């Protein structure tokens, strides 16, 4: 039987973290931790750590939706822990990067 953890953390009125992961017998089977920024067009993902495509990676987006993917050489459990920590520590920096006009960071 798998266990699901799913929650949202509000950092600011227009910044939130969505955390989701599934475990089975203590092993992380899937995860997604993402930083969302509210814009005039609604909520947009700025940074996401996840295990889709069968490997752990980080995606960064600009306001136009352009994506930069970085493969992580970490197992799912370590990548989940790191991604959660990174977003908690650096959300303000990521918000500034995302909101820069024409930024692709």
- Ranges of beta strands (E only) in 40-90 are 42-50, 57-61, 67-71
> Is the residue at 30 inside a domain?
yes
> Is the residue at 69 inside a domain?
yes
> Is the residue at 94 inside a domain?
yes
* Total domains present in the chain: 1
Q: What is the pLDDT of residues 45-97, one digit of tens each?
A: 999 999 998 999 999 999 989 999 999 999 999 999 999 999 999 999 999 99
**66-70: which pairs have CB atoms within 8 A and are 24 or more residues apart?**
66/104, 68/104, 68/105
> Is the residue at 17 inside a domain?
yes
Say yes or no to pLDDT of 105 above 50: no
pLDDT of res. 100: 87
> Is the residue at 105 inside a domain?
no
> Is the residue at 75 inside a domain?
yes
Domain membership of residue 67 as a residue range: 2-99
> Is the residue at 104 inside a domain?
no
> Is the residue at 51 inside a domain?
yes
Rounded to two decimals, the pTM is 0.91
At 101, the pLDDT band (50, 70, 90 cuts) reads low
């Amino acid at each position: 039987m798998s266990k699901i953890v799913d929650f949202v953390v509000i950092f600011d009125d227009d910044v939130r973290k969505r955390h989701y992961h599934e475990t089975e017998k203590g092993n992380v089977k899937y995860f997604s931790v993402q930083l969302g920024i509210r814009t005039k067009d609604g909520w947009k993902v700025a940074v996401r750590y996840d295990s889709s495509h069968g490997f752990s990676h980080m995606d960064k987006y600009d306001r136009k939706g352009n994506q930069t993917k970085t493969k992580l050489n970490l197992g799912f459990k370590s990548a989940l822990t790191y991604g959660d920590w990174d977003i908690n520590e650096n959300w303000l920096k990521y918000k500034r990067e995302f909101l820069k006009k024409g930024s692709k960071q």
